[in-house]
Amino acid sequence: MFPLLKTRPKTRKPAPPETRTLDVAGRPMPLTIKQHDQATRITLRIEPGGRALKMTVPRGLAAREVNAFLDRHQGWLLTRLAKFSTDTGLRDGGKILLRGVSHRIEHTGSLRGLTEVVSLDGGPVLRVSGMPEHVGRRIAAFLKKEARADLERLAAMHAATIRAPIRSISMKDTRSRWGSCSSEGNLSFSWRIVMAPPSVIDYLAAHEVAHLKEMNHGPRFWSLCKKLCPGMEEAKSWLKRHGSQLHAIDFD
């Protein structure tokens, strides 16, 4: 007699998320619907920046119930989305934040030239060249460059304080988090943080560097983070109040 081989129960592969566009009072919103085995009710949330929606539903929920839920919550969505302006203001005469300071955008009209900050009597100005329809993209490229300069300097400073090596630093445009740190020492930051005040930029750098020592959010991590950035609580509060506004800007 041969021994019977025990077979492992087949695990059910999760269904891929459904994506669609939801019309909210004439405003098209990308919607991702994800089924979850542990979900007992429908949850709907607005992604950071107010540019997309995410819905979690119990596995196997009928499509008619999903649609009925969305219909019932049109008013709720309309109220919440009202605070996110669809006008980016990224044009000649518009405004953009850089290190917490509002800069007036001046389109030079020249097809070539650097994107640069100049100080005038009326306040700081961000001069942008190129085609008018490319102003947003050129501003984004400028912000990425400025963010890298700030965060590389600040991260290196904090890493030296705790004597932790950094393997690499990258700039991304993430929506769900402002930064990340891998176990290999790779740091990643959202370049949009350069629009925040310097103290908030410093907090983000300190936060991710602290993860080089503490890969968690326990008491030891927060103690180290506060040691690196004494103004941690104020910076966290600023991000909670204003972070979505930075995510809401569409540079495309």
Mean pLDDT of the chain: 90
pLDDT at res. 156: 98
- The whole-angstrom separation of Cα 33 and Cα 28 is 16
pLDDT at res. 13: 66
> Looking at domain 95-248, which of 3.40.50.300, 3.40.605.10, 3.30.2010.10, 3.30.160.100 is its CATH number?
3.30.2010.10
pLDDT at res. 1: 47
pLDDT at res. 186: 97
What is the identity of the amino acid at 227? K
- Give the relative orientation of helices 63-72 and 74-81 as an angle to the nearest 10 degrees: 50
pLDDT at res. 6: 54
Residues of the chain with CATH 3.30.2010.10: 95-248
Q: What is the pLDDT of residues 95-119, one digit of tens each?
A: 999 999 999 999 998 888 889 999 8
Q: pTM score, two decimals?
A: 0.74
Q: What is the pLDDT of residues 117-169, one digit of tens each?
A: 998 888 999 999 999 889 999 999 999 999 999 999 999 999 999 999 999 99
pLDDT at res. 11: 56
Residues of the chain with pLDDT under 50: 1
pLDDT at res. 26: 77
